[in-house]
Amino acid sequence: MRLDKFLKVSRVIKRRTLAKEVCDGGQVTLNGRAAKAGTEVKPGDIIIIIFGSRKIKFEILSVRENVPAKQAGELYNMLEESFESGVIE
């Protein structure tokens, strides 16, 4: 499955067009390498996404075409989530 479609199906990113923009904008890495929207993903892959001040890291557990919203979280395991504060000290 394509990376952008996985991000949408898993509800990590709500819209596929936004997922494509984030991927092609260099904000996503797959197993330590920059990933484009069309990159194929599989269970066991580690994805890191940086949205502005938010960084998330997760492992893909399952790849399925269609998943009800309540089951979307079962497709991945969140490994890390962090926020950088905009406070200057």
pTM of the model: 0.88
Which structural domains are found in the chain, ordered by start?
3-83 (3.10.290.10)
Q: What are phi and psi of 79, to 5 degrees?
A: -100, -35
Q: What is the pLDDT of residues 29-67, one digit of tens each?
A: 999 999 999 999 999 999 999 988 899 999 999 999 989
Q: Which residue has the tokens 């557990």?
A: 61
Q: Is the pLDDT of residue 9 over 60?
A: yes
Residue type, 49: I
Q: How close are the terminal C-alpha atoms of the chain, in Å?
A: 44
Beta pairing partners, 34:
29
